[in-house]
């Protein structure tokens, strides 16, 4: 039976947060992904990621990940709802396709937001076409949630910066053509002393120190900088603006992490419905039991609640409003909710649910990191409470 008819999976596109252009985009991408993107992967994630970036670029989807119509972007400012419907749709079809799209945006986001015209000209059109792969290098072994603790240094020597230190958990590490690297340039103490630099792969003094294998495989690496000289023309924005730029970049993409979680959850609900209505037991089907119906009801309610929060945040951002609290709520609700939905779907599949490369088994692994990166759940909780308490102050 066709899973696509099961959960009225595109009905949320009619919600008033979206416009016709988003509906058209989602439907066209869904049709494209059905034809071009496989849910299972053959094991060589580097090759698969490169191929996905190539085909997403060739088909024109990557232009939504880049800001600036003069530089290959679909719009001058990245449309949050567009990247949300794209990530939700791709995640439903393939975690790796969603990853490939998202990293092109996150990796080039600082350039879209604050790059000099020459930097935009050099990097953004290639990102949008899928000719260059991008990476965002902020985290370090001792600076994850606590970004301001980062120690990688950028010493200014004449018209160059010299980078020394390490970055870790860098997605696309090892296959990226360029990395946006945040380092301590010491214009001021703490977070006001960081700057962002574009480092091309192959620059002397820059190495991929270690590839990292994770539960849902994708290219990931620890990077090492050892006297790596970068012309100051590769610095994005002014010295000391790196922290703000990193936060602005994450702010654009945080709501889209929630959207990716929705895509995984939607696929899990489809799989749950498929199994519940076809698995025969005790002279009926699994779906005939009220315990199963209660589970399905909870899954659908959790999913719609998270989707409403996600598209509220995206709508608010596209209307120029502050979304610090709303984006944090969306990421928290969607990633935690998706984990519960996927777990319930896997349970319905019984033993088959834990067989390698079954869709629910894959989703079970794919969702996990979303509760950690771009601000762990606990960090989102702190942001929400801080914003609420701030609003109470006179
Ligand atoms: C698959 C994957 C891809 C990634 N890709 C990138 C990338 O492309 N670029 C990049 O720069 N980074 C990337 N990261 C890094 C990611 O952003 C960090 O892992 C994340 O910020 C958490 O940092 P940490 O791992 O050092 O955990 P820690 O900072 O040590 O936090 C550990 C745990 O502590 C808890 N915690 C944190 N703060 C608080 C608090 N205030 N109160 C209570 N509990 C708290 C949370 O549960 C958190 O998970 C990636 C990570 C993963 C797993």
Contact 172, 134 (CB under 8 A): yes
Tell me which residue has its CA closest to atom 50 in ligand 1.
Answer: 169
Q: What values do phi and psi take at 67, rounded to 5?
A: -100, 135
Q: Which residues pair with 288 in a beta bridge?
A: none
The reported pLDDT for the residue numbered 394 is 83
Q: Which residues pair with 186 in a beta bridge?
A: none
Distance 66 CA to ligand 1 centre (A): 25
The reported pLDDT for the residue numbered 145 is 95
The reported pLDDT for the residue numbered 298 is 98
The reported pLDDT for the residue numbered 6 is 45
Q: What is the pLDDT of residues 13-65, one digit of tens each?
A: 889 999 999 999 999 999 999 999 976 666 799 999 999 999 999 999 999 99
Q: In ligand 1, which atom is closest to the CA atom of 103? A: 8
Distance 180 CA to ligand 1 centre (A): 18
pTM of this structure: 0.96
Query: Distance (Å, rounded) from C-alpha 83 to C-alpha 22?
Result: 9
Distance 246 CA to ligand 1 centre (A): 15
Tell me which residue has its CA closest to atom 9 in ligand 1.
Answer: 170
Q: What is the pLDDT of residues 291-324, one digit of tens each?
A: 999 999 999 999 999 999 999 999 999 999 999 9
Going by pLDDT thresholds of 50, 70 and 90, the confidence category of residue 231 is very high
Q: In ligand 1, which atom is closest to the CA atom of 214? A: 1
| Catalytic residue status for 374 | yes
What average pLDDT does the chain have?
95
Q: What mean pLDDT is predicted for residues 220-225?
A: 98
Token pair 């002397």 is found at: 204
Q: Where are the alpha helices (DSSP H) in 229-323?
A: 242-278, 290-318
DSSP state of 239: T
Choice from 136, 373, 386 to test ligand 1 binding pocket (greatest atom count within 8 A of CB): 373
The reported pLDDT for the residue numbered 8 is 59
Q: In ligand 1, which atom is closest to the CA atom of 138? A: 11
Q: What is the pLDDT of residues 57-83, one digit of tens each?
A: 999 999 999 999 999 999 999 999 999
Q: Positive or negative CA dihedral for 359, 87, 14, 333?
A: positive
Q: What is the pLDDT of residues 83-133, one digit of tens each?
A: 999 999 999 999 999 999 999 999 999 999 999 999 999 999 999 999 999
Contact 67, 73 (CB under 8 A): yes
The reported pLDDT for the residue numbered 1 is 38
The reported pLDDT for the residue numbered 9 is 64
pLDDT beyond 50 at 7:
no
Query: Distance (Å, rounded) from C-alpha 356 to C-alpha 372?
Result: 23
Q: In ligand 1, which atom is closest to the CA atom of 167? A: 11
Distance 385 CA to ligand 1 centre (A): 19
Distance 369 CA to ligand 1 centre (A): 9
Instruction: Report how far Cα 277 is from the mean position of its chain's Cα atoms.
Output: 33
Query: Distance (Å, rounded) from C-alpha 257 to C-alpha 90?
Result: 12
Q: What is the pLDDT of residues 202-214, one digit of tens each?
A: 999 999 999 999 9
Catalytic residue among 157, 374, 378, 387: 374
114-131 burial string, b = 16+ CB within 10 Å, else e? bbeeebbebbbbbbbbbe
Going by pLDDT thresholds of 50, 70 and 90, the confidence category of residue 12 is confident
Who lines ligand 1 at CB under 6 A?
A: 136-139, 144-145, 169-171, 214, 220, 369, 372-374, 376, 378-379, 382
pLDDT beyond 70 at 389:
yes
Tell me which residue has its CA closest to atom 12 in ligand 1.
Answer: 139
Query: Distance (Å, rounded) from C-alpha 216 to C-alpha 213?
Result: 8
Q: What is the pLDDT of residues 241-289, one digit of tens each?
A: 999 999 999 989 999 999 999 999 999 999 999 999 999 999 999 999 9
What ranges make up the beta strands (E) of the chain?
Answer: 134-137, 153-157, 160-171, 178-184, 194-200, 206-211, 220-231, 235-236, 280-281, 284-285
Tell me which residue has its CA closest to atom 19 in ligand 1.
Answer: 373
Choice from 102, 144, 220 to test ligand 1 binding pocket (greatest atom count within 8 A of CB): 144
Q: What mean pLDDT is predicted for residues 325-340?
A: 98
Q: What is the pLDDT of residues 121-164, one digit of tens each?
A: 999 999 999 999 999 999 999 999 999 999 999 999 999 999 99
Choice from 98, 208, 376 to test ligand 1 binding pocket (greatest atom count within 8 A of CB): 376
């Amino acid at each position: 039976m066709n899973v696509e008819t099961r959960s009225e999976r595109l009905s949320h596109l009619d919600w008033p947060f979206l416009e016709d252009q988003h509906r058209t985009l989602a439907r066209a991408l869904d049709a494209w992904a059905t034809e071009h993107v496989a849910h299972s992967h053959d094991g060589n994630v580097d090759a698969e990621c490169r191929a996905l970036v190539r085909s997403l670029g060739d088909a024109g989807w990557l232009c939504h990940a880049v800001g600036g119509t003069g530089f290959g972007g679909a719009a001058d400012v990245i449309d949050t709802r567009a990247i949300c419907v794209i990530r939700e749709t791709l995640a439903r079809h393939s975690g790796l396709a969603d990853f490939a799209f998202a990293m092109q945006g996150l990796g080039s986001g600082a350039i879209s937001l604050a790059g000099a015209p020459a930097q935009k000209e050099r990097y953004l059109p290639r990102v949008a076409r899928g000719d260059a792969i991008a990476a965002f290098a902020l985290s370090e072994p001792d600076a994850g949630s606590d970004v301001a603790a980062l120690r990688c240094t950028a010493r200014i020597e004449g018209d160059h910066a010299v980078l020394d230190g390490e970055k870790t958990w860098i997605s696309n590490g090892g296959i990226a053509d360029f990395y946006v690297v945040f380092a301590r340039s010491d214009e001021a103490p703490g977070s006001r002393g960081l700057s962002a630099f574009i480092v091309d792969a192959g620059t002397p003094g820059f190495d991929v120190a270690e590839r990292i294998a994770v539960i849902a495989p994708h290219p990931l690496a620890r990077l090492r900088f050892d006297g790596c000289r970068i012309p100051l023309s590769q610095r994005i924005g002014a010295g000391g603006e790196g922290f703000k730029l990193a936060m602005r970049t994450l702010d654009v993409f945080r709501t889209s992490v929630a959207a990716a979680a929705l895509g995984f959850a939607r696929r899990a609900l489809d799989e749950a419905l498929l199994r519940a209505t076809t698995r025969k037991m005790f002279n009926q089907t699994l779906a005939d039991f009220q315990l199963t119906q209660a589970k399905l009801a909870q899954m659908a309610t959790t999913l719609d609640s998270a989707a409403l929060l996600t598209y509220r945040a995206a709508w608010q951002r596209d209307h120029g409003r502050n979304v610090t609290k709303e984006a944090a709520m969306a990421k928290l609700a969607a990633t935690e909710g998706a984990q519960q939905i996927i777990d319930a779907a896997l349970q319905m599949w019984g033993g088959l649910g834990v067989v390698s490369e079954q869709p629910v088994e894959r989703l079970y692994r794919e969702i996990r990191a979303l509760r950690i990166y771009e601000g762990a759940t606990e960090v989102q909780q702190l942001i929400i409470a801080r914003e609420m308490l701030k609003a109470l102050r006179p």
